[in-house]
Amino acid sequence: MVENNTDWLSKLAPPHAPTPAGWWPPAPGWWALALILLIISGIIIYRNSRHKTHLSRIALRELKQLESTSINDVQLASELEHLMRRYALAIYGREYVANLSGDTWLAFIASHGAKEMTGEAGKSFLCAAYGSQVKTDRTQWLQGARNFLRRY
């Protein structure tokens, strides 16, 4: 016959919880999610830069057409100003560019590549763009516009 020993419960090991799971290394699902997010952000950055380059090419093509036409200086200044403003709105955003005018507009385009538009050349550019007959700096205007449009 088997002895009935009630002391056997005291001989068992004390209860303990398993060690908690660490945060590193992450599970394969987290690695996959990180890789997907990295690929998506890369695609977005690539498309954004490609879009800006595409806009720059279009604007430079339009500038070349303006150079090849024989229009007076007032019309040229007006067309250049419209081209540069449309480009700036597309690249830098309406909330940043739309309220710029006069000296602040000239300072903006000069700080973004059109150094030729500073001083008298810039002032004559704006006066001519809005219909005044002024001493023209046609070559400086065109070079300034080209540098501004090539920024990207």
Domain definitions of the chain by residue range: 48-65+73-152
The rounded distance, in Å, linking the Cα atoms of 135 and 119 is 13
* CB proximity list for 56: less than 8 A, separation 6 or greater: 87, 149, 150, 151, 152
pLDDT digits (tens, 9 = 90+) for 100-134: 988 898 999 999 888 888 888 888 888 888 877 77
- DSSP per-residue codes, 32-73: HHHHHHHHHHHHHHHHHHHHHHHHHHHHHHHHHHHHHS---H
C-alpha span between 82 and 129 (Å, rounded): 9
Enter the pTM of the model: 0.68
The reported pLDDT for the residue numbered 31 is 93
The conformational region for residue 93 under phi > 0 = left, psi -120 to 50 = alpha, else beta, is left
User: What are the tens digits of pLDDT across the range 55-88?
Assistant: 889 999 999 998 888 888 888 889 999 999 999 9
> Under a CB-based contact definition with an 8 Å cutoff, are residues 89 and 98 in contact?
yes
